[in-house]
Amino acid sequence: MNLLRIPLDGGGWILVEGDDKADQGPIPAGRVGDLITDGTRTLREALEPVAQASRTVLEELRKATPDEVEVEFGVELKAESGAVIAKAGSGCHLTVKLTWRDDPHSAAAGIGPAG
């Protein structure tokens, strides 16, 4: 197992599990620090592209004018590329839930889902 140390804006850091592909085998006792790779970007910097993508997804889904929008996806933190939306298979996986409430005033006006 490898660990990625990601700096935080206010100081300190967080350790996340890194990529096992770079596993070099057993680490001698007392050399656990050899498992840690330092990230080059803060957690905020790594997550900014994910936040931008989230805003875009939300803006597009709101065009369908639902009462509620829920989007779920996983985020992986990688030493090489920062934060990436976790993939399922060969593509990106998003779970989307759009909800329209049955509003009697809207239904009477012919707006929204039929009841």
Whole-angstrom distance, CA of residue 111 vs CA of residue 23: 58
What's the pLDDT score for residue 100?
93
pLDDT band at 115 (very low <50, low <70, confident <90, very high): very low
- The answer to whether residue 111 scores a pLDDT higher than 60 is no
Pairs from 59-65 (Cβ < 8 Å, separation ≥ 24) = 61/96, 61/98, 64/98
- The answer to whether residue 28 scores a pLDDT higher than 80 is no
pLDDT band at 99 (very low <50, low <70, confident <90, very high): very high
Whole-angstrom distance, CA of residue 100 vs CA of residue 5: 43
What's the pLDDT score for residue 35?
75
- The answer to whether residue 112 scores a pLDDT higher than 90 is no
What's the pLDDT score for residue 105?
56
Q: How many CB atoms lie within 10 A of CB 46?
A: 21
Domain boundaries, the chain: 3-108
Q: How many CB atoms lie within 10 A of CB 69?
A: 17
pTM, entire model:
0.62
pLDDT band at 77 (very low <50, low <70, confident <90, very high): confident
